[in-house]
Structures are given as C-alpha cells and as structure tokens.
Amino acid sequence: MKLDKKKALKITLIGIPVLLILLLLSFCIYILSFKQILQYDNIIRSSEKYCITGNFFLPSLYKITYDTPVEIDTEETVTIFNKFDIFAKSICIQSQTLLPENSLTTLSLTFLGNTGLQIFKEEISIPTEEYPKVSEAPSDRDFNISESISYEITNPNPLLQYKLLEGENETLCSLEDSTLHCNLEELELQYGGEYELTLISTYNSAIVDELDSSQIETLEPVKIVSTNIKQGGTIYDLNPKIVFSTNKPVEFIGENTLENSEGVKTQLVISTKGNTITMEPKSPLSQKSTYTLTLGNLKAEDGSELTDPFTLKFKTGDGPRPRYTNISGYGFPTGSNIYITFDQDLKSNQDISKKILLSDSTTYTYSISNNRISINPKTSLKACKTYSLVLKQSILSDNELSSSQEYTYTFKTKCARIVTLGSSVQSRPIYAYYFGTGSKKIVFFGAMHGSEAKTKDTMLSWIAELEKNSSKIPSDKTVIVVPTFNPDGIANQSRFNANKVDINRNFDTSDWSPDSYFLSKKYVNGGGTEPFSEPETRLIRNLITNNHPYLTLSYHSAASYTIPCGTSKSFEYGTIYSQLSGYRYVPPEYEDAFSYTVTGSLGTWAKENGYNELTIEVSSPYVDEFSRNVKAMWKMVTM
C-alpha cells in the first residue's frame, strides 16, 4: 500500500508538470490563434490559389470549409524529422471549379475542427472575381485571312476556354498572360469580304460570356490584273519574258511551274518589282508546243495572297505562216506584184531567192518589211495562165523560227483584156472586158439605164465567172462584157444620162422621136436632139459595128421578160434564154409588153441593121439575179 502511494505520488509529480505544460501550450495556441491570421486577399480568383498568411502551428490540424471543392496546401512550412510539419506561414486553397463571378462567398478556417475539439474558428467573407472582359479589341483595319488576331482581356482565367466564332465556324484562342491569340485561318474566311466575329468564353462547353462582337473586313486578295501573253494566245519568241501585273505589290512567290503538253518542265528565273512579276525560262521553249504556267502562292506586302492558283495557257508558234496573199484563185493582174503577209515578223536580211519558187522559172526581185514579203516578177506574167507559188520551210522569222511545213498557192492570171471604149457625157470611162480570141463574138452589157444599177452587178458577176471558167469558152468565140453603158446615170441615180436623154431611145431607127415616154410620163427631148446625139449611144453602136457580134444581150429591169429584137436568129436565142432563165418570152411585136410607147431602141436598131439582139428584163431592180441567168448566158456563148 505504501508502495502504491509512492508510485501514485511519483506519477502525480511527473504528470502535473506535463499537464501544466500541455495546458500552457494549449493556452498559448489559443492565445496565439487570435493573431494567427495576419492577412489575406480581398478577392478570390477561381484560377489562382487563395492564401491566408499568418502563424499556423501544427497546420495539418487546420480545417478549411468552402462552398466548392478545393485543394488545400501550405506554404513556408517548418518540418521536423523530414516528416512532420509543425508550422506554416500560409494556408492556401485552389478551387477545382469555376466560381461564380461578383458574388460574396464565405471561407471557414478552424483548428482541431476535424477532431471535434474545435478551439479556433475564423470565417472570412470575400467576393469572387469578375469574369474576363475585353479591354482592347483588334484595331480597325483590313485583316489577312491567315493571320492571328489578338484581344487584350482583364482578369484572365485559364479555367475558361476562349473561342472566336464566324457563322458556323469557330477557332480556339490561346491565352498568353492577358492576351488572347485567335487564328483566323480556321474560320475559312475569304479575301475581300466583311464578317461579324464573336469572341466568347466557355466552361465545360457551356458559354460563360460573350466578350466581344466586331465587324471586320478582310484584305483584297492578290489578283493577276494582266499579262503580256494573251490567255490561249500564241507567242513566237522561244525565250520570252512573261510579265504579270498584279493589283498590289508582291513580296513572295511560292510554287510555280511551266510545263508543256508532253510533261516537260522548264525552270524559270523570277523577279518582282512593285506590282510586276517577270518570269524568264532558263532554257528555250519548244517550237509548236502548248504550255501551262501555274503560279502558286503569291503573297503581297500587306500579307494577302492569291485565292486560287493562277494558270496561263499559251502556245509557242510554228515558224512563219502566211496569213494573207493578194493572189486569189483567179483573175490576178499580169503586171502586179505578189504580196504575202505572215503571222509574225520576218528576219529582214535573209536570202529568200531559193525559198520562194514561182512556176515557169519566173525570176523576181523581193523585199521584206516586218511580216510582209513583196515578190516583184522581172517580166509580166502571162495572161490567163495558171501559176504556182511555193514557200519553202526555210523562211525564217525574226526569232529564227522556220516553218514546219511548205505552202503552195495556185493562182490564175487575169484572162480579161480591158479596153476603154470611150467616156460618158461627164467624162466617166466606159470599159469593155474581152475574154477569148475567137472570131465569133458575143456582147453582154448592163446599166443602160442608171436606175437599173443591179444589172451592173450582174455583169460584174458574169466577168468573175468568165475569169474562173475561161476554159469553157469555145476557142472560136470572144465574149465582150460591158458592165455599164451609163456611168453618169449610175452616179446620179437617174434613168437618163447627164444630158437627160434616155440612151435606149437615142438609136437611129425608123421610129426615133425626140421625145420619149416612160410609164405615164412624156419626156421632151428624152430621145435626144437627133439619133446618136449621145456619146454613150455612139459607143454602143461602134462596139457592135466594129465587132459584128453574132448576138448582143442588153440587161434591164424589172419586167421579167426575154425579148428578141425580131431577127430569125434572135427568136431562136430568145426562146432558149427564156426557157433556161424562167423569164417570160415576149415577141417584139407584142404591143402590151410595156404600158408606154418605145421609140429609138437598141432592139429596133439591131433588127433594122441585121444584128441579133436580146433585151433581158430581170425580175427585180434590187437583187443581182446572176445565178438565175448564168446557165442561159453560158448557153448563148457555147451555141
């Protein structure tokens, strides 16, 4: 029993100091706890640690209670045995979720709160941070569609995502300090457009806030304004300078290719100056080939680019090709020079004497001017003869190109022998065209009346037909064609000549009258002062009396008649002509053929002087009816 008392006393002596120490320690902690919290921020940010600075003994025994999940950490701790924290300068929390903005929230700090022996509790009421706002939007300018634009924001919060929207397209922006960087390329904008951009912040895919809405314009794209080579055109220089003009200065040229249709690529030397791009092939292009030049990414000084690759297609030409010559199929004047115009300029100092051959070994001199060669035969060509002109392949262009083929022209020299019969009252010449050399002659003429001018066109068509088919003229025949016997009437648009005389009323006939009639009107002195008073009438008379044609055909309009003069042969010719042309056959004695009196006519003069004559009245004063007459005309020649 005494032992137990001693033991109890010993325990008491030991326990009392320990208890006093613990009580003292607890009292110190309790006393100190009121000065544990020294300072804390006056706002809490969900994106940053919120720290309470003070003197915290045994920090692991502190409990923090908050409305949302948080992580708790201590800073500036004192640790013993590398294991136990006995003191901390700060106790911090990090929110695990986005806090509501601009709201008052309470943070509760307790000591021994986890054990139920809560001896300290501090409640701190603090507001939450305002969500990020845009403090500076992109400047008012035109934007490159591939650039990154920036927004300055307040209260940057890395828990948020930031997106830039345009229509259904969006791009995710990156946050760097207080700057948002948003790449426009992902919005698929086009150059030269106007767009409404909306900047939003999101959390867990839900929109938190619309930060900005701005309208922007994108830069005009780089455009090729013009080229010195026409799209689809042909060039004749195998070492060309290919020049492009752009709508703005260009500083960078990306991928480009020049490739022909066989897949052969040609490297280019490229230079830029302002709005001009110049490209030159490193090696000559192929002759007579198709090329495609593709420009890839052109970038302007303002950062804009081509919207699509630009493609220029062109061809390299062959050597010189003739494009025009004055030698036609027939009717080439025997004393004229031959002109050949090529599709490109020619080498001026080349010798072409063996490169151009003229049939019959015809010698010539020549001259070259730009893209034209003049061939000057040393002697006149023979009339009504077919010639050939051969252009050899070796004719050179000024770019040293030679043609890949030979060219041959066949032409026929003029057959007609042109004779001036005389002149009209107003000194206009009257021409006759002679075809063939036979003794039997036939005469065709038109426009005895100036108001019947289309008969002149019929005669000109007949001359062209005779030139083309001169071989059809029988060897014993000569065809004489006078396009117009009344050039003054044509010029003055009058039926009469310049003396106001109807030529076809001025012949010396038994019924000649000084007055003439046409339709319902009488013309005093319309038949002339006397028979053959007019130079035109005398020329017709002389042509007939000098050549004694077996037939004369005079063309008028527009009764659609074939009228023989009254000789037996004229009846025969008239019947055939009527059948082949379709014009009504009207005998000369038919009084109702015209509604007016006819006196002093060629037909009556021809009959009274033993000449065969047909008056052909075509059916229209406005149309050249050569095609209706040509078969009958040839028949008159070949009978």
Q: Kindly state whether residues 257 and 326 are assigned to the same domain.
A: no
Task: Examine the pLDDT at 334 and tell me if it is beyond 70.
Answer: yes
pTM (whole model) above 0.75: no
Task: Examine the pLDDT at 310 and tell me if it is beyond 60.
Answer: yes
Q: Which residue has the higher pLDDT, 437 or 139?
A: 437
Q: Kindly state whether residues 170 and 105 are assigned to the same domain.
A: no
Q: Mean pLDDT, to the nearest integer, of 423-442?
A: 98
Last residue of a domain, one of 203, 218, 233: 218
Task: Examine the pLDDT at 133 and tell me if it is beyond 80.
Answer: yes
Question: Is 393 a domain residue?
Answer: yes
C-alpha distance from residue 225 to each of 222, 246, 275 (Å): 9, 5, 10
- pLDDT, residue 449, reads 96
The H-or-E segment that residue 412 falls in is strand 407-412
Question: Is 22 a domain residue?
Answer: no
Q: Which residue has the higher pLDDT, 128 or 593?
A: 128
Question: Is 576 a domain residue?
Answer: yes
Confidence of residue 606 (pLDDT cuts 50, 70, 90): very high
CA quadruple 620, 626, 631, 634: dihedral sign? positive
C-alpha distance from residue 612 to each of 549, 567, 603, 606 (Å): 8, 6, 8, 6
- pLDDT, residue 161, reads 95
Percent of the chain with pLDDT over 70: 93
Question: Is 327 a domain residue?
Answer: yes
- In the block, tokens 């229509």 appear at 167
Q: Kindly state whether residues 348 and 371 are assigned to the same domain.
A: yes
Residue 346 is classified by DSSP as B
Q: Mean pLDDT, to the nearest integer, of 17-24?
A: 59
Question: Is 26 a domain residue?
Answer: no
Dist. CA 526–CA 536, nearest whole Å: 14
Q: Kindly state whether residues 408 and 513 are assigned to the same domain.
A: no
Last residue of a domain, one of 352, 380, 412: 412
Q: Kindly state whether residues 429 and 556 are assigned to the same domain.
A: yes
Residue 361, both tokens: 């070994």
- pLDDT, residue 203, reads 93
Q: Kindly state whether residues 459 and 548 are assigned to the same domain.
A: yes
Q: Kindly state whether residues 465 and 555 are assigned to the same domain.
A: yes
- pLDDT, residue 106, reads 87
Residue 616: CATH number of its domain: 3.40.630.10
Task: Examine the pLDDT at 623 and tell me if it is beyond 90.
Answer: yes
Say how far residue 199 (Cα) sits from the centre of its chain. Answer: 42
Residue 102: CATH number of its domain: 2.60.40
The per-residue pLDDT for range 479-538, each reduced to its tens digit, is 999 999 999 999 999 999 999 999 999 999 999 999 999 887 999 999 999 999 999 999
Confidence of residue 12 (pLDDT cuts 50, 70, 90): low
Q: Mean pLDDT, to the nearest integer, of 126-141?
A: 90
Contact status, residue 216 vs residue 138, Cβ threshold 8 Å? yes
- How does the average pLDDT of the chain come out, rounded? 90
Q: Kindly state whether residues 352 and 390 are assigned to the same domain.
A: yes
- pLDDT, residue 22, reads 58
Question: Is 3 a domain residue?
Answer: no
Q: Mean pLDDT, to the nearest integer, of 75-86?
A: 85
What contacts 331, CB < 8 A, 6 or more positions away?
A: 412, 413, 414, 415, 416, 464, 467, 468
- pLDDT, residue 341, reads 97
Task: Examine the pLDDT at 1 and tell me if it is beyond 60.
Answer: no
Q: Kindly state whether residues 464 and 537 are assigned to the same domain.
A: yes
Q: Which residue has the higher pLDDT, 309 or 486?
A: 486
Last residue of a domain, one of 193, 218, 243: 218
Dist. CA 148–CA 180, nearest whole Å: 10
Range of the domain at 329: 322-412
Facing residues of 256 across strands?
295
The SS3 assignment for 568 reads helix
The total domain count for the chain is 5
Residue 257: CATH number of its domain: 2.60.40.1220
Q: Kindly state whether residues 459 and 389 are assigned to the same domain.
A: no
Dist. CA 599–CA 633, nearest whole Å: 27
Q: Kindly state whether residues 512 and 456 are assigned to the same domain.
A: yes
The per-residue pLDDT for range 171-187, each reduced to its tens digit, is 999 999 999 999 999 99
How many CA atoms does the CB half-sphere of 617 hold within 13 Å? 15
Contact status, residue 483 vs residue 452, Cβ threshold 8 Å? no
Question: Is 181 a domain residue?
Answer: yes
Task: Examine the pLDDT at 18 and tell me if it is beyond 80.
Answer: no
- pLDDT, residue 593, reads 66
Q: Kindly state whether residues 252 and 201 are assigned to the same domain.
A: no
Residue 139: CATH number of its domain: 2.60.40.10
The per-residue pLDDT for range 232-268, each reduced to its tens digit, is 999 999 999 999 999 999 987 777 889 999 999 999 9
Question: Is 471 a domain residue?
Answer: yes
